[in-house]
Amino acid sequence: MLTIRTEQPSDYEKVHQVIIEAFKNAEHSDGTEQELFKKLRQSPSFIPELSLVAIKDNEIDNEPCLLNGTVKYDDAFGLEEV
């Protein structure tokens, strides 16, 4: 069973590892995607309530995240999933 819940600070290290694993064999990766996600958490566009983790078998399995931003003067949201 898959459970979705809000990401907690105690999840950050596991999410870091999930991101590393997700991009380990990616064709277009520079190996720093996990650092980008750390920076996104510190961004004013970061919405903690919309940063979610997917839990499967009591482990973080996925990391969907919503960010707020602006595209040509219009508000926009971006959904990023690892």
CATH code (residue 28)? 3.40.630.30
How many domains, the chain?
A: 1
Comparing 61 with 22, the larger pLDDT belongs to 22
pLDDT band at 8 (very low <50, low <70, confident <90, very high): very high
Q: For residue 68, give its domain range.
A: 2-81
Q: Apex CA 12: angle with CA 11 and CA 16, to 5°?
A: 120
Give the residue-averaged pLDDT of 52-79: 65
Q: Are the C-beta atoms of 63 and 21 separated by less than 8 Å?
A: no
